[in-house]
Every structure is written in structure tokens, then in C-alpha cells.
Amino acid sequence: MSDHAPSASELADFRAEVSGWLEEHNPADPGFLLPQTFMEVGSDQQLEFLREWQHKLWSAGYLGVHWPEQYGGRGMHPAFQNEINRELRRHRTPITFNVIGLGWAGPLILDIGTEEDKAKYIKGILSAEDIWCQGFSEPDHGSDLGNAQTRAVRDGDDYIVNGSKIWTTMGNYAKYMILLARTDPTTKRKYDGLSFFLSPMHGTGIDTRPIQKITGEYGFTETFFTDARIPSSCLIGGEGNGWRVAMQTLQYERGAAAGAAGGQVQVRVSIADLIDEVRSVKRDGAPLLEDPVIRDRLVQLIMDEKALGLADKRSTLGDLNSDYPMSLLLSYKLRVSEYQRRMRQYGLEIQGGLGGLYVGDEDTIAGGFWQRAYFNNFATTIGGGTSQIQCNIIGEQVLGLPKS
Amino acid sequence: MKKSNMAIGLSEEQGMLLDTAREFCRDRSAIPAVRALLQSESGFDAQVWQEIAELGWLGVAVSEAHGGSGLGMGSAIPIVECMGKRLLSTPYITTVLVAEALQRAQSHALCERHLPAIVGGQIATLALLESEDWGEETIELTATDAGGDLQLAGSKTQVAYAVQAELFLVSVTYQDEARLLLVPASALGEGAVRRQTNIDETRRSSRVDFTGATVSSDHLLSGDATAIIRDLRLLGALLYAAEAAGSTAACMDLTVDYLKTRKQFGHLIGSYQSLKHPMVEVLCDMDNARSFVYHAATLVSEASLDEDAESACRMAKAQASEALKFAADRAVQFHGGMGFTYECDAQLYIRRAQWSQQAFGDAYHHRKRLASLLLD
């Protein structure tokens, strides 16, 4: 990675180049609904489309540009990748779907992996040849990662793994999993018995079962390990350090400077899109947007969305955060996911009879986008620690309230 | 929908004012001091008012030529937020709004005559409202020519600190046009000021009958009064929003402290999620109010407020009104039986919340106008 910070004009030139490329290569509407997030890849059709797109983006030199050249990056400064990310957002491109590889496993391997690991894994992550998934959550311990019970027992040069993981995104497509498993069930602190593996997904004793979501689509699997043998070389960070490595892994998501390869993690859904799409909807024989009750509620949602953007900027102004220093950072996930839930739900609620139709019906607004977007959003209010757990964390760590 | 302006910042001066104001308001307005003033005639401590003037706070937005520091209204925001946090009520908001009006009108003679005195601590107050309706734009109070002077007929309501004010800035209809008129307290007749009973006992307001008052016609402000009144209403909304954001934080702290110390059924009650989670909602509402307040503080300037600034002021007021209302409502409830008593400080906040939400328009009032700005 180059330490030389690029000048504003270098960045502007680069951005123009990316923009030009995207104008030509941003894929046209494929005629079927594309996922807004990597958690929504539910069909082979979607997968192949996204795989081709990510491969094309990487081949053009626009993914992981700040990762080392010998592993498939370009050794550039992270600022260049940020420029690309902005352009991808602006052009509203499809997502770069190999998110666990690009944002979690890849940076981790580059940070603490062996030379062999880097040579083996990194390029496949960028090119989308190797899809990665994440094995943290378990059926009985949704929000309590530290309590993971999947066992990994050392046996010669292997570990024998038994247990199950749930909410494995693209588990049925993935070649590798970042796996959190218990190597020592006797430790005093539950966290100290965990280890972190770069586990293969194709092998005897590893089975996946797709989970059908409320949308009727797929995207997650449950993953079962039954006396599955994985080589001990898959261990990363040392035995018993799994919790620390897992926490480290979560830090990379915050952007190129933090290590993530970049790309378009999710297609953002905004209240502005909703308002544009319901302009033609009628209520009481008049345009929906003339109804004072609807207007009031829409303004509240506009404000909620704007407050999120402002909070993001305000979090960098120390003087305005000194009294509750961690508040904006710790509450961001809660606020953004709950706002999206309310907004998408409302997007459905105000469609009149059209809200009763579903994806696949030609009369729906935007192909049933809002129907699907609302249902899928529960992945964000439940996944990564439910909103209720978030409230506990914020109440305890920001307000100092006693533990529940 | 047009692209959203996301400017938010804090100038060095605003940062310094925030530090000074935090300390000053904490020292001068501890809860016993606030309570001691509830039943007093004026509702504020004259000594503290004088100190506020000496700190130069009445002149933060007044030009240097008239004795102020010329930092703009954005610099009054941290001060008012800190006052709100300590429930420090004074004629500050209403006085700085009058000074702002004089400057916006560019009435040079009136500025020269009055601004230095206002910066020095003379109490001036705004008399705009004639009924409960903040959305009413027609002005019933009239000024008519009477031998070179102007004679007034009509009254205003909820005029802040009218008993102590030496100067009233009154919206009037003169020759079928909206105008702003400065009326010295000395022009008012006997019994013209009727003190009102305020739901928030830290406030003072009156109904003021201007009928029969006669003032020289050179007391009329120049400029486009309709535009200035609009700006004053937006800036007033912003100032009360900043104050409410501060009060919300204090109210939240009060409740959180109680939840950390009160035990029931063998547990600290703050460990119960039914109490903990709403407090997180209060925190997020307060944070959002604060973001809008400082966003608006960044956008207002001495120029007539543009659409972005208008939108920001309205969002700030809508958000802060709701935030304080919710925080205070939960404060009473979560204090249990104690919360129902006058002795518990939660009453100070729930009373303030009701007053503050009305001042310069409630949340619905502002959202209705935001809808026109954002949806049409």
C-alpha cells in the first residue's frame, strides 16, 4: 500500500476516469430484481449476474486497489478506493456481493495471515471466484456470539468440528467460511475458549440447508458440521484468540482506510426514492402527496433520514459530543436499521391497493421493490445484534444504566 | 426531492461560547436556584442578567459598531442550549430577537439609539402573537396616524417578560401593510400589562393591551416587515429548539440518575428493559434534536433565511419539541409516585415541555410548512 497521500487533483482525475468507465459499463437493468444487500442473493440467476459484475469491476482495476499488487490489488492509496466507492454509489451500480471476503476475511488475512494464506485466498476474494461466508451466529445464541458452542477438537493435523451455524449468508454458494468455534469448553471466561478458522465449505461432514425467508426467497443457510475435518493450518490468530480475532474482523468494515476492499456494499434505499415512486398514487381521488396526514408522516421520515446524515458528520465535532461521547457511534446501527424499517414499511402502507400485491405482479410499484425491501430489512434490525440488544448496549455503555 | 444540505459545524467562537456557557449556567442556575425563582415576580435573577450582559452574550449577534461582537445568531445557539440544560430562564431569547429585528430592518437611527442599551442589558421583548394560532399571518393590531404620531389599537398575547421590558417590538398593520414598531414601555397605559399564569413556572409572559398607546412615527422599522417577521419566527423557533435540546439532555440525566439508584423487587430499576429502552429512545431523539439545532446554527446568517436555513430551523423546532415532550413525559412516569409530586424535578421538565413546544410553533406547525418545502 502506498503511503503517499494523493493530491486533490490526482483524486479528481481518477474519479473522472472511474466515472467514465461506469457510464459505459454499469450494467443495464437485467429484468429481474437485484439484491440491495449481499444478504439477499437468493437465486442462481442473481448470483451469476453479481459474480460477473464484481469480476468485471476488479478486472478493470476498481476493486481493492489499495491491496498489494502481488495478491490482485494495485498497491494504491486507500483514498483512491474511496473515490471508486463514491462513484459506485453515485451511479447506483449493483452491489459487489462477496462482502464477507472483501470486508472481513480479506483484510484479516492481509493483516495477520501467513504468506501462504495471502497467496491462496486474496485474489479469489477480489475476482469473486471464491465466495466467502461467515459462521458466527448459532441457532441457540443469536445475539450472544461469545457463547458459541460449535466445537473444534484438535486431532493430529486436523480439527474435528461439530455443531451448527445459522444465518450463513450465501452458505450454499461459498467456498470458504470464517468460523468461530470453541476449542476449549473449560475456560473461566467463555471468550477465552474460542478460536477463529478459515474453514473450507466443501468437504465431508459440512452440509448446508437453505433458509427460506419471509420474502419467499433464499439467501441464508443453516450450516451443519458433523465430524467435519478441517486442516489445522486453517486456524488464524492462534488457538484461544478467536474472540479477539472476531472483534478485529468487525473493525474492517468501516472503510478502505480500515482495510476493507471497498466496492458497493449495499444499494441505499432513500425516502427520496419512495416519494418519487408514489407521486402517481391516488388517495381519496386526489394525489397521495396532497393528503395532509401522509405529508406529515413523510416529513417525519425525511427528518429521520436527514438526522442520520447529520449525526454522521456531527460525530466528528468533538465539542458537540463531549457530554455523551460514544452516543452517536454506538447508536448508529440501531438508528439506521430502525429508520429503514419504519420508512420501508410506510412505503408499503401508503400504496393503497397496490400494497397488497407482491413481487412478480406487473401492477406493483417498481416491481414490488418496497414489499421486498421492507421484509428484507429485518435482516438489519435482527442481524448483528437485534435492536433490543443494541438498546441494552447503548443504555449500559452510553447512559451507564445497570446491566439487564 | 432536491438534494439535502448537510452542513454542520462549530466555529472556534461557538466552541468557546459553549465552554463558557456550560460553566456559567451550571454555576448560576443549580436546581435550588431555579426553584427559588419559580414564585418570584420577575422569574429571573437581576444579578445573573447583568452578568449575562457583561459577558457580551446579548451582543453576540449585534454588529461591532453597535457594541456587539458581530458573530451572528449561530453564536447564540450554544449559549441558549446551555441555558436550557440548566433551566436558566431570562429575557435572553426575546431580547436578542428584538436586536436581530432592528439589524435586519437596517433602521440605522433606531439601531444607534437602542442597540448599545440592549447589549448592555436593557430588556426588550417581542410582541407578535395575537391568539393561540402561530399560523395566523393577519395582524389585527393597528397603527393609525394621529397628528404626526401613531396611535395603536389592539393587543398581543404571550409577550415574554412584558412586566420588566423597557422596549416592545410590535407587529402592526399600518396603512394596510404589515410593519414592525418599537414601543417604549412608557407609552403603555395603566393596567395595559396583564401577567399570565404560565404552565412552565420558569417563564413569564403577559397579555399586553396596546390600545391608546401613542408613539412617534419614527419608531417604525424600515425594511420588508413581512420578511423580517418570517425570519424572526424562524430564528425564534431555532432558539427555543436549542433551549429545548438542552432541557431534554438535563431531563434525561435526571431520569437516568434515578434509574441507577432506585431499587425495586431487589433490582436497580434501570436494569429493567422496559425502562432502559425508552431512555435510549430519549437519547436518540435528543441527539437528533442537537444535530438539527447545530445544522440550523450553521446555516443562518444575517441575510434573509433561504430555503435550506428555513428548513433547518423548522426541523430543529419540530424535533426538539417532540424530544423534550417525550423525555419529560417518561421522566414523570419513570419516577413512579415520586414523579407525580411537585417536589420531584421531573415537574420542571414536563411543564417546560408544554410551553416550549408551543413557542414559535409546535412540531405539526413546522412539519406542515416543511411538507410544502420538501414535497411540492
Nearest beta carbon to residue A295 from set B1, B10, B371: B371
User: Above 50 in pLDDT, residue A1?
Assistant: no
**Domains A8-124 and A133-253 equal at CATH topology level:** no
pLDDT number for residue B111: 97
**CA distance to partner chain A, nearest, from residue B292 (Å):** 7
Q: Residue A65: its pLDDT value, please?
A: 96
State whether A402 and B277 contact (CB < 8 Å): no
DSSP of B320-372: HHHHHHHHHHHHHHHTHHHHTSSSSTHHHHHHHHHHHHHTT--HHHHHHHHHH
CB B110 within 8 A of CB B182: yes
**Neighbouring residues of A273: CB distance < 8 A, sequence distance ≥ 6:** none
Contact B9 A271 (CB under 8 A): no
- Annotated catalytic residue within A10, A253, A277, A396: A253
C-beta atoms of A298 and B375 within 8 A: yes
**Would you say the C-alpha torsion A190, A192, A198, A200 has a positive or negative sign?**
negative
Length reported for chain A: 404
Query: Could you give the angle at which helices A44-59 and A115-127 cross, rounded to 10 degrees?
Result: 110
Option in A300, A327, A401 nearest B287 (CB): A327
* Interval A155-165 mean pLDDT: 97
What is chain A's mean pLDDT, rounded? 93
Residues of A in contact with B270 (CB under 8 A): 395, 401-402
Average pLDDT over residues B265-278: 96
Closest CA to B366 of B358, B227, B98, B3: B358
User: Which range has the worst mean pLDDT, A252-261, A330-339, A346-355?
Assistant: A252-261
- Band (pLDDT 50/70/90 cuts) for residue A268 is confident
Cβ neighbours of residue B45 closer than 8 Å, sequence gap 6 or more: B28, B33, B37
Show the domains of chain B with their CATH numbers. Answer: 126-219 (2.40.110.10), 225-375 (1.20.140.10)
Q: What residues of B are in contact with residue A394 (Cβ under 8 Å)?
A: 280, 283
Beta strands in chain B (DSSP E): 124-127, 142-146, 149-153, 155-160, 167-174, 177-184, 193-195, 205-209, 214-216, 263-264, 267-268
Distance from CA of B210 to the nearest CA of A (A): 37
Chain A neighbors of B295, CB-CB under 8 A: 310
DSSP symbols for A347-360: HHHTTGGGGG--TT
Buried b (16+ CB within 10 A) or exposed e, B76-115: bbbbbbbbbbbbbbbbbbbbbbbbbbbbbbebeebbeebb
Q: Confirm whether A253 is a catalytic residue.
A: yes
C-beta of residue B145 within 8 angstroms of C-beta of residue B71: no
Contact in structure between B103 and B62 (CB atoms under 8 Å): yes
- Residue in A309, A335, A402 nearest the CB of B268: A402
* pLDDT band (50, 70, 90) for residue A3: low
Residues of A in contact with B267 (CB under 8 A): 402
Q: pLDDT value at position A261?
A: 87
Whether the per-residue pLDDT at A254 is higher than 70: the answer is: no
Which CATH architecture best describes the domain A133-253? Answer: Beta Barrel (2.40)
Interface A-B, measured as beta-carbon pairs within 8 A, has a size of: 132
- Cα–Cα dist B105/A336, whole Å: 43
Q: Is A272 on the interface with B (CB under 8 A)?
A: yes
Query: Can you give the pLDDT at residue A63?
Result: 97
For residues B314-320, give the mean pLDDT. 98
Crossing angle of the two packed helices B12-28 and B46-54, in degrees rounded to 10: 160
Question: Using CB atoms, which residue from A272, A401, A404 is nearest to B260?
Answer: A401
What does the pLDDT read at residue A258? 76
Mean pLDDT computed over A343-347: 97
User: Which pLDDT tens digit goes with each residue over A163-204?
Assistant: 999 999 999 999 999 999 999 999 999 999 999 999 999 999
Residue A255: pLDDT band (50, 70, 90) is: low
Q: What is the pTM of this model?
A: 0.91
For A8-124, CATH gives: 1.10.540.10
pLDDT(A135) > 80: yes
User: How far apart are the CA of A281 and the nearest CA of chain B, in angstroms?
Assistant: 14
At position A284, the amino acid (one-letter code) is D
Residue B64 has pLDDT above 50, yes or no: yes
pLDDT of residue A146: 86
ipTM: 0.96
**What confidence tier does A123 reach under pLDDT thresholds 50, 70, 90?**
very high
pLDDT score at A8 = 93
Non-local CB neighbours of B214 within 8 Å, separated by 6+ positions: B146, B149, B150, B151, B152, B187
Q: How is domain A271-397 classified at the CATH fold level?
A: Butyryl-CoA Dehydrogenase, subunit A; domain 3 (1.20.140)
All residues of chain B having their beta carbon less than 8 Å from the beta carbon of residue A327 are: 283, 287
Report whether B256 contacts B349 (CB < 8 A). no
- Give the pLDDT score at A186: 95
Contact B358, B134 (CB under 8 A): yes
Instruction: State the Cα–Cα distance between residues A143 and A165, nearest whole angstrom.
Output: 13
pLDDT confidence bin for A143, thresholds 50/70/90: low
Determine the pLDDT at residue A322: 87
Asked if residue B330 lies in contact with residue A345, where contact means CB atoms within 8 angstroms, the answer is no
User: What Cα–Cα distance (Å) separates residue B305 from each residue in A25, A60, B62, B159, B302?
Assistant: 43, 47, 17, 24, 8
Angstroms from A301 CA to nearest CA on chain B: 11
Identify all chain A residues contacting B276, using CB atoms and an 8 Å cutoff.
391-392, 395-396, 399, 401, 404
Domain edges within chain A: 8-124, 133-253, 271-397
Whether the pLDDT of residue A116 is over 90: the answer is: yes
pLDDT at A232 over 50: yes
User: Could you report the per-residue pLDDT of B78-135, keeping only the tens digit for each?
Assistant: 999 999 999 999 999 999 999 999 999 999 999 999 999 999 999 999 999 999 999 9
User: d(Cα A85, Cα A158) in Å, to the nearest integer?
Assistant: 40
Which of B9, B10, B271 faces A404 most closely, judged by CB atoms? B271
Beta bridge mates, A207: A224
Q: What is the mean pLDDT of residues A259-276?
A: 89
